[in-house]
């Protein structure tokens, strides 16, 4: 049985703490409670540079992945680890070689095998370009770590543990990954899927992939159980999205793919009487795709999902070509 569970990890919550206090993912209630534990100039810096870190609806600022997601994946537990991660990141930008970063954090071997390479050329160029901002961000994290660990984390951790206990009792009753694998004919590439519950992120986009086998989400997210089931599907079906090549708009592919996972969640887990899906209340939800997939997927297992996604995208492109002027901008999907 491949385990799905919720956990508490200090560094993702520390990042959530800083995001919730700043305009990146500002939370008034959280700010009133904890703003006294972060220096005002540091909040001002985060506010001024918020576009480098903000994300949502399939798009993200340039420092989001390396400064937030990957650091959350390795989860440094003290100031020494924080400094080691960001200094290794700066070295990656300087020498275009990920070996130092992987040696410092061996868990990144799995990250690269199952999720993404760390040293692709665009990333190297970005890290080199923003090296001064990365250094400043590291310094802010180091300067505000002790107040968070001493005054914030003990309180927030209690809430996170309580939420994790409730949701884990439900998750342990079902072999969710096995059901997804049976219904799609695909295999989940890791032995577990960890959902890192975080503080501070109540106003952030709700589910954020730290890597293939880890996700980052606020501990009090509505419909958490239902959404975890959906997120398993988005990772399991990742090869289907990657198989789409050609002149399709990136966001159209992304939204169609997420909506396909939404429909499959409802069909695979119909006996669980799921309350709803948070996707239906988001900008990502594609109502036309939802109707199409609901009509097309009659029985399970559904083993032609790549063809089904491509068929929907082609049909929508055909409609657009009939109704819109020529020379519409597109993004070529190459990976």
CA dihedral defined by 260, 185, 5, 153, rounded to 10 degrees? Answer: -50
Q: Concatenate the DSSP letters of all residues of 192-235 into one string.
A: EEEEEEESS-TTS-S-EEEETTEEEEETT-TTHHHHHHHHHHHH
pLDDT at 330: 39
How far, in Å, are 214, 303, 330 from residue 327 at the CA level?
40, 35, 9
Q: Is the pLDDT of residue 119 over 80?
A: yes
pLDDT at 274: 84
Share of the chain above pLDDT 90, in %: 87
Q: Is the pLDDT of residue 324 over 70?
A: no
Q: Is the pLDDT of residue 122 over 60?
A: yes
Domain extents for the chain? 3-198, 237-335
Q: 51-83 burial, b for 16+ CB within 10 Å, e for fewer?
A: ebbbbeeeebbbbbbbbbbbbbbbbbeeeebbe
Q: Is the pLDDT of residue 28 over 80?
A: yes
pLDDT at 275: 75
Q: Is the pLDDT of residue 332 over 70?
A: no
pLDDT at 232: 97
Q: Is the pLDDT of residue 185 over 70?
A: yes
Query: What are 173's two structure tokens?
Result: 């009753």
Judge contact between 47 and 22, C-beta under 8 A: yes
Q: C-alpha angle 24/30/36, rounded to 5°?
A: 95
Pairing relation of β-strands 55-56 and 59-60? antiparallel
Q: Per the confidence metrics, is the pTM higher than 0.85?
A: yes
How far, in Å, are 68, 92, 126, 136, 293 from residue 133 at the CA level?
13, 15, 11, 5, 44
pLDDT at 117: 96
Q: Is the pLDDT of residue 302 over 90?
A: yes
Q: Cβ–Cβ contacts within 10 Å for residue 88, how many?
A: 19
Average of per-residue pLDDT across 208-216: 97
Q: What is the pLDDT of residues 33-68, one digit of tens each?
A: 999 999 999 999 999 999 999 999 888 999 999 999
Measured distance CA(23)–CA(35) in Å, rounded: 12
Q: Is the pLDDT of residue 88 over 50?
A: yes
What is the enclosing helix (H) or strand (E) of 320? helix 305-323
pLDDT at 166: 97
Task: Compute the mean pLDDT over every residue in the chain, rounded to the nearest whole number.
Answer: 93
Query: What are 155's two structure tokens?
Result: 């309180």
pLDDT confidence bin for 215, thresholds 50/70/90:
very high
pLDDT at 331: 39
């Amino acid at each position: 049985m491949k385990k799905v569970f919720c956990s508490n990890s200090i560094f993702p919550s520390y990042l959530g703490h800083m995001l919730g206090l700043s305009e990146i993912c500002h939370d008034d209630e959280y700010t009133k409670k904890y703003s006294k534990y972060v220096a005002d100039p540091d909040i001002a810096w985060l506010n001024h540079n918020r576009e480098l870190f903000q994300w949502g609806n399939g798009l993200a600022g340039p420092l989001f992945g390396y400064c937030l997601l990957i650091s959350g994946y390795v989860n440094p537990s003290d100031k020494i680890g924080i400094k080691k991660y960001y200094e290794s990141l700066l070295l990656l930008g300087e020498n275009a070689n990920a070996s130092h970063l992987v040696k410092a954090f061996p868990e990144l071997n799995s990250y690269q095998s199952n999720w993404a390479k760390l040293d692709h050329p665009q990333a190297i160029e970005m890290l080199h370009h923003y090296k001064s901002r990365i250094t400043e961000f590291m310094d802010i994290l180091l300067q505000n770590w002790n107040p968070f660990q001493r005054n914030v984390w003990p309180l927030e951790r209690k809430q996170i543990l309580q939420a994790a206990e409730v949701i884990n009792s439900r998750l342990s009753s079902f072999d969710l990954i096995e059901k997804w694998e049976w219904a799609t004919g695909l295999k989940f590439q890791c032995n577990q899927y960890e959902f890192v519950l975080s503080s501070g992120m109540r106003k952030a986009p709700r589910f954020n992939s730290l890597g293939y086998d880890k996700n980052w989400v606020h501990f009090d997210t509505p419909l958490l159980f239902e959404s975890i089931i959906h997120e398993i599907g988005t990772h399991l079906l990742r090869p289907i999205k990657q198989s789409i090549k050609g002149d399709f708009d990136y966001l159209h592919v992304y939204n169609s793919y997420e909506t396909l996972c939404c429909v499959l969640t409802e069909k695979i887990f119909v006996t669980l009487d799921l309350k709803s899906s948070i996707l239906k209340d988001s900008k990502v939800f594609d109502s036309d795709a939802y109707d199409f997939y609901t009509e097309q997927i009659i029985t399970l297992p559904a083993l032609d999902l790549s063809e089904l996604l491509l068929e929907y995208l082609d049909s929508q492109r055909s409609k657009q070509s009939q109704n819109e002027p020529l020379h519409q901008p597109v993004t070529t999907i190459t990976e």
